[in-house]
Homo-oligomer: A and B are copies of this chain.
Amino acid sequence: MWPRKDLLELLEIDHPIIQAPMGGESTPLMAIAVSNAGALGGLGCSYMSLDELRATTTEIRSGTNRSFNLSFFAHPPPKEDADVNARTKAMVTPFYEELGLAHIPNCGNGDCDPFDAARLEVLLNNCPTVTSFHFGLSPIDMVRALQSAGSVVLCSATTVAEARMLADAGVDAIIAQGWEAGGHRGTFEVSFEDFGVGTMALVPQIVDAVDVPVIAAGGIADGRGIAAAFALGAGGVQMGTAFLSCPEANIDDSYRAALRQASDDETRLTRAYSGRPARARNNRYIDAMASHRVALPDFPTMYGFADPLAQASRDNGDAELDFVLYGQAAPLNRELPAADLVARLVDEAQSLLNTPRGT
């Protein structure tokens, strides 16, 4: 069925597809559907309160007895810089004025704490099968506590150097996140986005560098990408954008419309919404903020400046200046329920992998 099984055995899943645990866009219903279909469903939990985290874990456990993944950001706590705030306020002001927003914030803020002891305690009381980290790894004693409690720990790397650091820290498998991927880049060591490594180049180099299973991510949207990932030496794939077109995704109509009209070359990396580089549909705000090439407030405080713009833009109906996250393979998306999408992906990949190839 599949060329290698190390990742399947590690995660206790039937199919080597990890639904990216997109914070905000994924839902318990999506995670349950994907896990029940034999792949790995997941949910980004960094924007949740502790109560929401408890309730969510219980909800997913009540919907599936298969493996599932809860995901957290492991960013350093933001530092506040008055000069950066003042400069950022000046840069965003024209957009506030255009959208008719009277109150322009003087400083950033964002409701997203790094993974911490309180969250760890919630997880240890009701441990998910898989815990994944983005923006680096949480402190090593927390990683060990999760592993001791029976959770497999994954973390994203965007370069070979990051992958080596994660392997040395003892993560159980590494998500090799290529340039093409939508959403936030998991990078924690690279300072700037000009150096993003494409999936085709990144995956085999990480496979050669570490001894744990490697999960390919970025630009994979159908069975062709899954088969290609195995050829590159991966043990499976993580797909986010592909699941955004499922009815289970928590996105509004303007976001769905953007996905339907997506083209390959209309997204770019931006720090202008959260403070960390994320791949999103380009717009005038992103262009303008990029042209300054100056420091913005740390993640997640930049949200404090950008969220009112994104919200007002959504309220206008066209979401022209909204933060619309997706990757470069979005045009390949299919609008299917998540379980049907998993089945389709498995069929496509297996027919490529199991057909005699020589002619």
Interface residue ranges, A against B (CB under 8 Å): 1-5, 158-161, 178-180, 190, 194-202, 204-205, 208, 218-222, 224-225, 227-233, 263-269, 282, 290-291, 293, 327-329, 331-332, 350, 352-354, 357-359
Contact B221–A358 (Cβ < 8 Å): no
CB nearest neighbor in B for A329? B201
CA A353 – CA B354 in complex, angstroms?
10
CA A2 – CA B230 in complex, angstroms?
17
Contact A3–B359 (Cβ < 8 Å): yes
Closest 4 interchain pairs by CB? A201-B219, A200-B219, A198-B198, A201-B328
CB distance from A289 to the nearest CB of B (A): 12
CA A229 – CA B208 in complex, angstroms?
19
Chain B residues, Cβ within 8 Å of A267: 195
Contact A204–B233 (Cβ < 8 Å): no
CB distance from A344 to the nearest CB of B (A): 15
Chain B residues, Cβ within 8 Å of A201: 180, 199, 218-219, 221, 264, 327-329
Contact A205–B268 (Cβ < 8 Å): no
Contact B198–A200 (Cβ < 8 Å): yes
Contact B293–A195 (Cβ < 8 Å): no
Given A265-B161, A359-B4, A231:B352 Cβ within 8 A: yes
CB nearest neighbor in B for A192? B268
Contact A264–B202 (Cβ < 8 Å): yes
Contact A204–B231 (Cβ < 8 Å): no
CB nearest neighbor in B for A205? B264
Chain B residues, Cβ within 8 Å of A178: 198, 200
| Max chain B Cβ within 10 angstroms of own Cβ: one of A199, A218, A229 | A199
Q: Contact partner of A200 among B228, B266, B352, B358, CB < 8 A?
A: B228
CB distance from A82 to the nearest CB of B (A): 24
CA A282 – CA B204 in complex, angstroms?
22
Given A200-B220, A264-B201, A354:B357 Cβ within 8 A: yes
Contact B160–A5 (Cβ < 8 Å): no
Chain B residues, Cβ within 8 Å of A266: 195
CA A158 – CA B198 in complex, angstroms?
14
Contact B197–A218 (Cβ < 8 Å): no
Chain B residues, Cβ within 8 Å of A232: 224-225, 228
CB distance from A340 to the nearest CB of B (A): 20
Given A224-B204, A328-B201, A160:B263 Cβ within 8 A: yes
Chain B residues, Cβ within 8 Å of A263: 159-161
Known A-B contacts: A180-B197, A199-B200, A225-B231. Give 19 more (CB < 8 A). Answer: A1-B359, A2-B359, A3-B359, A159-B265, A160-B263, A160-B331, A179-B198, A180-B200, A195-B282, A197-B264, A197-B265, A198-B198, A198-B218, A199-B219, A200-B329, A201-B218, A201-B329, A228-B232, A293-B293
